[in-house]
Amino acid sequence: MKTKDVPQDDADMMQGKWKDPIYTLDKDGNYTTSYSLGWDTKNAVMQHAWDEINDKIEAVRQKVIAGKLSPIAYYVEKNIMDVGLLAKYVGKWKWTVKRHLKPKYFNKLSDEMLEKYAHEFKLTKEELVDIDRIIAEGDEH
């Protein structure tokens, strides 16, 4: 593909902030790197993927609001993490973190453990435990 033919069909998903590097041919026939905002097919697939992620985040958010899951579950989804990764970050066994996803155990966590979780989500301990904050985040969408 020639540099001048690189697709620039920005679907406004990332407001032009994300560009993919693509090898192209310059006017002299030499390989060079150009950047593309995407093309219709790729943007449709990416939008579908983000819709799936956002639906999953919303489903977990609703369970947190209903008291079925702890705030940790919401922030795991929101940060596109999994329990195993979070367990490694906070220095706990995976089964321990799974227990902390349940409000019964989350409500008994020490301040030190809450601080560890909050740190990994780039939150304060107060933000981590604030259900109203989670409720408000749903209102933003």
Kindly report, residue by residue over 114-131, the tens digit of the pLDDT: 999 999 999 999 999 999
Do 80 and 130 lie in a common domain? yes
Do 121 and 59 lie in a common domain? yes
pLDDT digits (tens, 9 = 90+) for 17-65: 667 777 778 888 888 877 766 666 666 777 788 899 999 999 999 999 9
Do 23 and 56 lie in a common domain? no
C-alpha–C-alpha distance, residues 18 and 141, integer Å: 21
Distance of CA 48 to the CA centre of its chain: 15
On whether residue 54 sits in a domain, the answer given is yes
Which residue range(s) make up the domain with 24?
3-38
pLDDT band at 2 (very low <50, low <70, confident <90, very high): low
Q: Residue 27 gets which letter from DSSP?
A: T
In 26-80, which residue ranges form alpha helices assigned H by DSSP?
40-65, 71-78
Other CB atoms within 10 Å distance of the CB of residue 49: 10
On whether residue 43 sits in a domain, the answer given is no
pLDDT band at 72 (very low <50, low <70, confident <90, very high): very high
In this prediction the pTM is 0.74
The position carrying tokens 């590097």 is 21
Do 60 and 99 lie in a common domain? yes
Q: Based on the structure, what is the number of domains in the chain?
A: 2
Of 129, 122, 135, the closest CA to residue 103 belongs to: 129
The pLDDT of residue 5 is above 80: no
Do 33 and 53 lie in a common domain? no
Q: Residue 3 gets which letter from DSSP?
A: G
